[in-house]
Chains A and B, each alone.
Chain A
Amino acid sequence: MFETAVKRPLLSYKFALEIRQQMAWYWQAIILAVSLLVGLFISGAILVAAGVPAGELLNEFVLYTLLDAQSLQSVIFQASPLILVGLAGCLAFRARFWNLGLEGQMIFGAIGATAITIWEVGTPSMRLPLMIVAALVCGLLWAVLPVLLRLKLGVNEIVSTLMLNYVAINFLLHLMYGAWKDPKDAFPYSPKFEVFELLPDVFGGVSLSIPLALVIALVVFWFISLSRAGLYLRFVDQSPRVAQALGVPTARIIFLTVLFSGALAGLAGLMVAAGQEGRLTHSFYVGYGFSGILIAFLARNNPIAATCAALLIATLFVAGRSLQVFYQIPFAMVQLIQAVLVICVASSDFFIRHRIRRIQGGD
């Protein structure tokens, strides 16, 4: 009787960790939302520590970025290449292939598209379609080597795709400081694209890139969820060995999916070059490869969720640029915040999968 009434110090309790079998979906959603909020709070604290006034922070993100029509437009605009790299990440990770070469594939996609403009291939009306094809093909080709090495020789794709990123970056610098430099000034930029080489506005100031990204998101959704290859892919994702034993053409499916992933990353490169910057620049790729990986992870490789996650990251990009201008906060901060968000969301999985129970100590 008395025992229960006495307040016991915390240390005399024991905590037991148990694996939870099932959790109601609304609890999962609540935990996910809380973890995102915790992540945003930590990010806010980092920014305040870096010298952004706390009051301004809310203004910066909510008022200027999300409630301002023009900023909102630039968020949507910014989202399209992020959606594509996110989808590229989803596809590759579904095939259990850690494609960390998204940046390299993006660079080669953009280089391919720019080559079409510089060599003036095709008539003006054919130029943009040709650029899109070139971006898809070049991104795809840059993914061929790592996936072949992995399938034929078992070479770890994490290292190989990363190494190829650095090769691609140096090749881009070679072009930007050399043959493709704009003769007009000393900056490492290609000459400006012609008007017919830019992604056109389709309606009300919205560039073609966002409808294109959404259509591709639907195509990827179809590929993953409804097509035969997608069904096989789910087998491969669950258990490559069982898939192999069941007669699924594992290698061919992985190969195809990774090439698809590379092509999408290449298209994302085109969207930055021909959609945002209007030319190829020496550092246009910065931050996209990582964002693609993190978007795919946040979305658990679901193409529809990836589209939403890309919008969130796009908000971060746009807000990050204005922080860079107004408070001299480096753009790398965007990467830091993304990492914090991913850590928080990934940690929330722990609470979904486990139950911490307090058991009374003593003998």
Chain B
Amino acid sequence: MTLISSWLGNTPEFAVPFALAALGLIVIEKSGVLALGAEGLMLVGAVIGIGAYLTVGNTPLALLAAMFAASVVSLLFALMVLVMRINQVISGLVLVFFCQGLSTLVGSQFGWVNKPVPGLSEFAVWGLSDLPIIGRIFIQNAVVYLTPLIFLLCVWALYRTTAGLRLRAVGENPQAADAAGIPVLGYRLAAILMGGALIGLAGAFISVLSTKLWIANMTGGRGWIAVALVIFARWSPWRALAGAILFGCIEALIPQLAASGIKLSQYFVFMAPYLITLAVMVWVALSKRDSNSQPGALGSPFIREERI
């Protein structure tokens, strides 16, 4: 019973990075830019979050610094896909390689490896945290509670504001949006910067609040799982949140399995999230419902001079 209780209690902590990264990706991809760089931006967020904490000693500030740093690095991605019009798949991949190298170099040069940080204190929601079994879910740090609010805000911005409508128009049909006087590249740039900040926060969550220290390449493929999650969620933020919780459950189960004494090579257990991601991709492909939800112009550059 305590096992299930602590499993459920740990789930949000594992789910939040997936949720934030997937939301960031959705914001970018709604503008028609294929974003594969999540893994890299998360690494940048992770290293800068720890570095900022070790420098200034303030956790909220460290999280903001991580968001800012990931935005700055996404500027490079924006330069590649919006200005230089480099193939978006290549740009995303190169961004990941770039960030992996950069974050490792920066982290080890400044000596941020394996330095523990305190994270944020957890607090209980009054009343709910006393419930049996599921009570443990309601003892979390502030960012966990903020995540649903961030989702609400983003969904509202995407679907209820003029700017959100324009952003989606740019992603569906940039030529038409351009003809209507919407600055296509401006909206795409804004989406890339905001999405980058969210993905950076996801990375900083892993290093500053969850693991509470930094090691090279610590995101270990979670950025790619977020990419898969977006496909699974068919670009809907709420479905992405549900998917993130599902993956959080799976990840939270891994340490529990070890604790419960089930004899299984730990490396096979570590494979589970990736195999399950693969299975989810297959399942999505088999159930070809609603296949039109992908933004219409996803992955194609907008080149005004080639307009007829």
A interface residues (Cβ-Cβ under 8 A, vs B):
17-19, 46, 50-51, 98, 100, 149, 153-156, 158-160, 162-164, 166-167, 170-171, 173-174, 177-178, 290, 293-294, 297, 328-330, 332-340, 342-343, 346-347, 349-350
Contact = CB atoms under 8 A, between A and B. Distances in A.
A258 B304 CA distance: 36
A239 to B, nearest CB: 15
Interface residues of B, number: 47
A171 B271 contact: yes
B105 A329 contact: yes
B102 interface: yes
Among A163, A164, A177, A335, the most chain B Cβ lie within 10 Å of the Cβ of A163
A111 to B, nearest CB: 13
Interface of B: 36, 76, 80, 83-87, 89-91, 93-95, 97-98, 100-102, 104-105, 108-109, 216, 220-221, 224-225, 227-228, 231, 265, 267-268, 270-271, 274-275, 277-278, 281-282, 285-286, 303, 305-306
A6 B303 CA distance: 35
B221 A333 contact: no
A155 B109 contact: no
Contacts of A18: 305
A166 B278 CA distance: 11
A164 B100 CA distance: 19
A332 B221 contact: no
A258 to B, nearest CB: 16
A155 B281 CA distance: 6
Nearest to A333: B105
Given A155-B281, A166-B220, A166-B221, A339 B97 contact: yes
A155 B277 CA distance: 12
B228 A159 contact: yes
Nearest to A286: B217
Given A335-B97, A336-B98, A343-B98, A350 B228 contact: no
Contact of A170 (B86, B224, B270): B270
7 contacts: A100-B93, A162-B224, A163-B228, A163-B274, A335-B100, A346-B84, A346-B90
Contact of B101 (A17, A337, A349): A337
A158 B89 contact: yes
Nearest to A159: B228
Given A294-B97, A346-B94, 4 more contacts: A17-B305, A159-B227, A339-B97, A343-B80
B124 to A, nearest CB: 35
Contact of A350 (B85, B109, B224, B267): B85
A336 B90 contact: no
A334 B101 contact: yes
Counting from the closest, the 6 A-B pairs by CB-CB distance are A336-B101, A332-B104, A339-B98, A174-B267, A335-B101, A153-B285
Contacts of A349: 84, 86
A170 B281 contact: no
A42 B127 CA distance: 57
A347 B80 contact: yes
